[in-house]
Structures are given as C-alpha cells and as structure tokens.
Structure 1
Amino acid sequence: MTLASRVDFEEHRFRLGSLDAARVDFHRMLTALIQVQYPGATEVRANPGDWGIDTFVGSLVDKVNIWQSKYFVDGLGKSQRAQVRESLRSAMYHARKHGYVVESWTLCVPRELDGPERKWWDGRVKVWERAYPGVVIDLWDPPRLRGLLMSPDAEHVLHEFYGPSRERALPGGTSSHAVVPLPADEDYQGALFVAQLVATGLREINSQKVAFFNAEVLARDVANRGVPEERNALLELDYSVWELWERHAASAAASADRDEEAQARELFRIVMDEVRRLPAPGKLPVRAVHSAGMMHRVVETRRAGWVKGWREVAAAHTSPSHVAHPEATTVAVGS
C-alpha cells in the first residue's frame, strides 16, 4: 500500500519523462485533491490566457478561491519567482477587470522551499497582504500536500496518482520499467557520476546519463509503490553492482604499471559489462540499462568511482547528490 508520507512529487517528471507532461499531471492531481474538500472545484482552459487561474472554487461573477500550480522541481530561482509574482498579479488584474472578488490565492509547488526561498516567500506574502487586503495568501508545498493526501477522503487521489496498482503510462503506452529517453531539459552536468566519468577521460557519455535517468525512474517508482519485496530487491541490485565494482577496483589497484586514465576506462568497461549481465533480483522488472544506471547511482552517492583518486574527485564535488542513499528508503520484508 502506498503511504502518502512517502510520496515524492518529482515522480510526475520521472514517470512521464518530461516537464511539460509532469506539469499537466501535477495540476490534475491538485484539482482532484482540491475537489476532496470542494467538490465544485474546476479549472480554466487557457484561450489564450487563463486569467491567472489554474484551479478555482466559486463563481467568476461573484467570489473565487484560486489555486496556482507551479511545477518547480529545481527550486525558486529568479525566473520562478518572477513567474509567481506574475501569476498573482494576473489573477488580481483579471478579477478587477471582470468584476469578481478573489478571497484566497494558493501557490502549489512540488518541492520544499529552502531557507532563502522561504524567506523570500514570507517577505512577499507580507507585501501582497498590504497590496491586496482581504486576500488570504497560502502555500501548498510537499509537507502540506502529503498531509492532505493522508486524509481518508483523499485515498482515491493517492491511489490514482501514486498507487501501486496505477499503470505507469509513458509515451507509447509502455510500463515505467521500459527504457525511456532522457528528457531534453535534463543533462546531469552537475552530477557526481558525470564528474567521475569525465575524470577517466571519457567524453561521449550521453548513454550513461540515459541509464542513470532510467534507474532513477525505477527507484522512484519502487519507492512510491511501497511494496517491501520490491524495495529490498532494489537494494539487492544496488549492493550487487557495488560489490562488482569493489571486486574489480581491487584488481585494478594491484596493477599500477598502466596509464591511469586508460586503467580507469578499462575498469569502467569491465564493471559495466558485468553489471549489464546481472539477473533481475526477485520479481523486480529491470533491464540491462537499469542495472547500468544503478552503478551510476552508487557513484553518485560517493561509494565508488573510476580513477584511483575517486575519493578526491568526490570530495572536490560541491553539487548536491541527485539521489539519497538507498538504505534511507528501504523497508524490511514483512514490515
């Protein structure tokens, strides 16, 4: 059974493979969630504009409560903050123009705000409350959204968008465990596993990014499904690829008479060849590309590398990891 407390709203992007599709899916989930409390909630189709409204409750000739969906998975940067300001400005402008009253305006985002982002938000709320007296400004971030999804009345929304029995539809109608292309807006240039590959002298690594992305899709899907056997099978795969790397890295360290970059590339070739031949653990439906991506996840969590000084490469890397340590989300079978 899926637990609302474990929902990661980035799943929309990982499951659907693009930010555009994820934005639509996240918005649909929000409307369904709002309808739990307000059955009359509906949406405004852009034609060409949407009057600054994504989902609303009320009447456009009287009073409305507005929810604005912003699928900002990479945080609230300068561009995203400008979009938020413009959305509220547009909502209030069209309310005045068309003669209805905005009672509340709620921003909905899929990622928690960090300290600077929260400070910006709290500051803007004070400014907006002075500019638009009587309008309640609110924020639905992941903790708030998870809390709403925990309601028994919202069980159907949780099941529909994050449940274990949901068909993980992707372009072409395939399962999410099929191999999917890397989204155009994801290049992983700040990832540690990319830095480790570059340290070997490799430059053509786009297929490795695809493998990492597919492993992420798999891991997110397993985490959100919440099936203990699948979670432990994923952990088994993680440990298996890690063990393969340790075994071959020890052999490589014993032969120090070769060019370091060449030796690193040979280690990479040998390990990845064996990783791709690993059988799927349990009933976890993985393919060779998922297993290869799992090896990159091991590197991304600073447990492995390819050159002799891989720990130094990891220590010098300042970008945050794209993934959590696998044990952080593992559930023992039968728990």
Structure 2
Amino acid sequence: MGYGYADAFERGLGGWLSDQIAVVGSGDIDFRFLETRFAGPAGARDAFERLIADIVGIVHPDVQEVQANPGDWGIDAYVGDLGKEGEVHIWQSKYFIDGFAKTQQGDVRDSYSSAQKAAQENGYNIASWTLCIPCELDGPMLTWWEGWKKRMSKADTLTVSLETAGRLRRRLQASAAADVRNHYFSPLFTLPPTTADPEEPRGLEELVDNTKYDGALFVRQMDEAGLPETFAAREAFFNAEILEREVTDKGIQLEVSALSTWRVRVSSTWSTAFNTACQMSGDRRFPQLYGEVLGGIETNHAQEAASLRAHVLHGVGLLHQAVDNGRAGWVRDWRDVAKVHLARAPNSASSPNNEEGMEEEP
C-alpha cells in the first residue's frame, strides 16, 4: 500500500532536511518569540497551533484545523476523513514553552484520550497521532515518552510520534518552509523607494505613567476580551496621539492625507478579522482576534508607516484610537460595551470623544 500520511510527513519534509538547510534571514527561530509577535502567552499558544498546521501544510496542502466549539475532538490539525469509517492523521500541539514534566504528561494523556474518544464516537479511525511541543525532553521524560508511545501504539494500532523544538526548528529552516518561517519569526517589511533626502524618522516615546488611560474605553474593551496586559496598548495609543498632534500642527496636506488613509487601512484590517472571527465562532470572546489584527498591522502596514516616517506600532496605536472612539472592539458585543462606557464617561482617553464615532461596522 506504500506509506501513509505520517510517513509522508517524515519522508516528504524530513527526508531532505539534512541536505537542504537554509539559514534564517533575519532572526533565530525561538518559539518564545511568539509571545512578543502575538501579544502574550495566549496569543502565542494560538499562533503555535496555527504554526503546526502551516508546517504540516507544506507537505499536505489539504491539512485541516478544528475549531473548538466547545471541544476540538482532541485535534489541532488533521489530514484525512472524519466521516464514518474514514482515516485521519492527527497533529496535536501543546505550547509547553517552559519544559516537559509530570503535569505535561497528564496533559498529553488527556489529549490523546480525547482524540480516541471522539474517533470512537464518530466512527473514524486514527492512523497516526503526532505531539508537537516547543521544548525538549530530558532523559527521564524521554524514557517515559518512549514507554507510553509503545503502549499506545500497540493498544490502539497506530503510529505515535513526537515533534520537539529541535525537529520543528529544523523543519522551519528548510527552503520550502521559508514563507512559514518568515511569517512567524522574521516578518519582512518592504519600504517604498525614495529619491528625496530622507527626513529624520519619527521615533517612539516611552509612556512613563502606567496608570495613564485607566478609564479609557480601549482599555475597557481589552478587559472585556480577557486581555489582562494593557501597557503596550497604552503606549501605542500614547504614540499615536503624539503622531496625530504633529501631523495636525504641521498641516502638511500629504501627511494629513496619509494619516487618514492609514486610519482607513487599520479599520479595514480589524473589520476583516472581526467578521472572520464571527463566522468561525459563536462565542462572545475571540481568543485569536487581537493577535491576528495586531500581527496584520505590523506585517502589512509598513508602506503607510513609511509615508509618515513613522513606526508600524503607530498603526497599532491608531487601532486603539478607533476602539476608544467607539468604532471597533474585541468582543462580539463591543458596541454595547462602548455605549455603556461612553454613557458613563462621555470623554474617554482621546478628547473630545465623539459619539458620532459610533458608526455601524460590518
């Protein structure tokens, strides 16, 4: 019958890793960087799940991801058929960034059991189950893993595999993985050429007072979404306010127009991601939305930033301004949150805060 999907993953991607290693262009592959790239541990956990699916997708473009609603059938990514008498190959990601010990053993057992239970209840067969983690195992844990893997493989007649940080890193260093690697670890920004002498770029100012904007709507919207770390958002908002004042005070029409265009682009980036999140889940909170929107601005708004000699993080600040003006939010009922907040405190962080800003978004 030849080899299955699990073997193909090993042979199709891993088979040429040893003689086709590419050097990462602008940064090391450090999985903890995902916490910076995607706004904290929760965003990093979601990003790691997507990263695993994207790595699998290099060899298997038909890879599918499963939305948790409320459970995910013990599957993060799979290839195959989930229908009755179908066969699937499962990849389970666990963001064990701080190492692997007894607690993690329990998590692995639970995930494997969930996958087997869902398969039995829905009538499909698991041909392979691969655990993907961003760390390495020490000697005792490797001994445990080998023993557990053999027991599960024999009991359930399937292939059980492990992809650790090192194996994942080497997969990402392969030439075929360049796009995936750059998206997660080395995002590139293309600046438009210019023939004029460059002016001094606008820098970012440090926000000294971490209590500034405590009563702001954009902070409230983050609280509603369960995003506890708000200081970076406050600092981005602070810098966007500075940028806006400078552009307004100078009154250079090209810069005024460029700032207006950037605001529209920021709103479009948020709106697209928000609509997608609403389609994917009926929940009030969207765990991936915040990281995806900020990542989209930082990755795709370099041209807007360059037109104002600004930093892409100014664009993140413009987004928080939009939230503060009641034009966006991070939960399904963000409009209700904004209306209640503005009714209690008509002036939020930006002054004046205009209730005409409460326009209907998609």
TM range (shorter): 0.3 to 0.5
Higher relative contact order (CA 8 A, sep 6+): 1
TM-score, scaled to structure 1: 0.48
